[in-house]
Amino acid sequence: MAVTDGFYMACCTSVIVREVGMKEFHQRDIATSYALAMKSERAGADKPDWKAINMAILGRWKRSGLERIKQRAHDILNGKVTP
């Protein structure tokens, strides 16, 4: 099932920050959660703290990693790639 199908994320900030801190989660995994957080915010289901999320990502990866995550998240939401 695609990220864009009827699901939303609650507590987006804490979920993504926790995932970033776990070595078994990779950029592709974080991008999926990032996309779901974006979708949830658009629907009014949650209000992610993007500064905290992005700082956590930058604490683990370089700026290029953050940009890859953001691009993949947008691609997921636009149906260009599957999660």
Task: Report pLDDT digits (tens) over 2-26.
Answer: 555 678 888 999 999 999 999 999 9
Residue 55 belongs to what H/E stretch?
helix 50-60
Whole domain around residue 73: which residue ranges?
Answer: 12-77
- Segments of the chain assigned E as strands: none
Does residue 36 lie within any of the structural domains?
Answer: yes
Does residue 83 lie within any of the structural domains?
Answer: no
Does residue 82 lie within any of the structural domains?
Answer: no
What tens digit of pLDDT does each residue of 32-77 get?
Answer: 999 999 999 999 999 999 999 999 999 999 999 999 999 999 999 9
Question: Which pTM was predicted?
Answer: 0.92
Task: Work out how many domains the chain is built from and give that number.
Answer: 1
Burial of 83 (0-12, 13-18, 19+ CB in 10 A): middle
Does residue 6 lie within any of the structural domains?
Answer: no
Does residue 17 lie within any of the structural domains?
Answer: yes
Does residue 1 lie within any of the structural domains?
Answer: no
Does residue 5 lie within any of the structural domains?
Answer: no
